[in-house]
Structure 1
Amino acid sequence: MREQGFVVKGIWLILCLAFVGGIAIGRLSLSFVAGITFLLTLVPVYFAQRMEVKLPLSFIAAIVVFIFATIFLGEAIDFYEKYWWWDIVLHGGSALGFGLIGFLFVFTLFEGDRYAAPPVVVAFMALNFAVTIGVLWEIFEFAMDQWFGLNMQKSGLVDTMGDLIVDVAGASLGAGAGYLYLSGRDVGGVHYFVDGFIKLNRRMFRKHRLGRGGRGGDGAARSGGQSRGGR
């Protein structure tokens, strides 16, 4: 908890002040949303510690900012009504991120062996992971609306389907970036993100060899193994 950057700590402070302030002025709905948002921002930190996974501080910050922008700013401060593009940007950006997370998740299962499955298969699995997260989020929005009287789905079916379409588009971009990484190409500096995570969690990528930009090492190792096998 104490290792988090100033962005995360700043958001936690805002949420705590909003929680206390809501109680003080009698706006219990504000306190409720602030409390729920605060608890959800702790989830990635908790799971990372339980699973013994080291996440870059920028990675945790991005997740916390997304949760804060989606629930607190979107619902309590009513950004969804003030800015028509708010929901689109959040869903597109999060889907892109979850596409990359899905790629890392699948890549971890193969212990970093880029030859364990064709890049297109890994990308497809990453896409499925990201879209599933998007579907679960829509279920979460529906539950919050039904149980606590919020209005996260706005126009109902139209809003939900629009969000899912944006989710699929963003997830496709994230999974596509993972595909390009495995294919030895880079787009948008993705290899910095992937290689940074791998360096923090080397025990989970025992079959991965970091070469230039995370590439080249595996090929050299595989070629060497084939040469020795030939002899």
Structure 2
Amino acid sequence: MKRKVIIILSILFIIFMTALFIYYLVKGDASRWQVALGGILVSALPLCLLRMKQNPFNIPIIVGYYLFLFGSLYLGSIASFYLHYTWWDSSVHFYKGMLIGFVGISLYKRLIPEKVRQDVSSGILFLFVFSLAVLAGVLWEIYEFVGDLTFTHTMQRGGNTDTMYDLLCGVAGGLIVAFYSLVRKKTV
């Protein structure tokens, strides 16, 4: 079932982004065709999971990944939600923090054998999940900064203020999932 979901979502998103790429390339809108081209590449990433013997990510995380791509690439950049709705950027970063937190929980379950997990403190799990979400936020802000230096000049319109709000929202999302992992670990 997971395999089919990955294949279907990847193909649909690749087709969608390819159509946008061609449309904006013909139209001469460099900012949007570049985003669409990036969308083609990142929508194909989950296909790499098919090569794994045991995919650590469940269907909600896979669907969540594509929701993130749709919200950030299409709605945010191509449909200009980032420009028209000031709350959109912060919401996407908050969502990303939560998504990466859940990815951290999945990786923990995949990489740590069940026998060993019993001896891992809930604090270590909390730090792992939280740190992964924070790292993702920092790497995203570096991506935005480099993108503005080289291609778009539109990713960090608010400068340092935008960067700090984005980081704070991502940290808040990751913190919520880290607390969730802490509570779940203590009850299990």
TM range (shorter): 0.7 to 0.9
Q: Is the 8 A contact 2:98 2:176 kept in 1?
A: yes
Q: Give the counterpart of 2:67 among 65, 68, 71.
A: 65
Tell me, yes or no, if structure 1 residue 132 matches structure 2 residue 135: yes
- Structure number with the higher helix fraction is 2
Specify the alignment match of 2:163 in structure 1. 160
Aligned counterpart for 2:39 among listed residues 30, 37, 40: 37
**Quick one: which amino acid aligns to residue 177 of structure 1?**
Y
Report 1 or 2 for greater relative contact order, CA contacts < 8 Å, sequence distance ≥ 6: 2
- Following superposition, the deviation at residue 171 of structure 1 comes to 0.6
The structure number with the bigger radius of gyration is 1
Q: TM-score, normalised by structure 1?
A: 0.71
Q: Counterpart of 1:18 in structure 2: which amino acid?
A: L
Q: Does the 8 Å contact 1:8/1:65 carry over to 2?
A: no
Say which of 79, 82, 96 aligns to 1:80: 82
Could you tell me the TM-score, scaled by structure 2's length? 0.86
- Matched residue type, 2:74: F
**What is the root-mean-square deviation in Å for CA atoms of aligned residues?**
2.2
Count of residue pairs brought into register by the alignment? 184
One-letter amino acid of the structure 1 residue matched with residue 112 of structure 2: F
1:84 CA drift (Å):
1.3
Gaps of 5+ in 1: 185-214, 216-231
Larger displacement relative to structure 2 (61-70 or 101-110): 101-110
Q: Distance in 2 between matches of 1:165 and 1:141?
A: 16
Hey, what does 1:20 align to over in structure 2?
22
State the distance in 1 between where 2:3 and 2:89 align: 31
Q: 1:165-202 deviations in whole A, cap 9, x for unaligned? A: 11111111111111111111xxxxxxxxxxxxxxxxxx
- What fraction of aligned residue pairs are identical, expressed as a percent? 27
Distance 2:169 2:128 in 1: 18
Post-superposition CA distance 1:27-78 (Å, at most 9, x none): 24322211111211222332x2344342333322211221232123222221
Q: Extract unaligned runs of 5+ from structure 2.
A: none
Give the structure 1 partner of residue 172 of structure 2. Answer: 169
Once the two structures are TM-superposed, the CA of residue 12 in structure 1 deviates from its matched residue by: 2.9
- What amino acid maps onto 2:178 in structure 1? A
Q: Which amino acid aligns with 1:3?
A: K
Is the 1:102–1:175 contact (alpha carbons within 8 Å) kept by the matching residues of 2? no
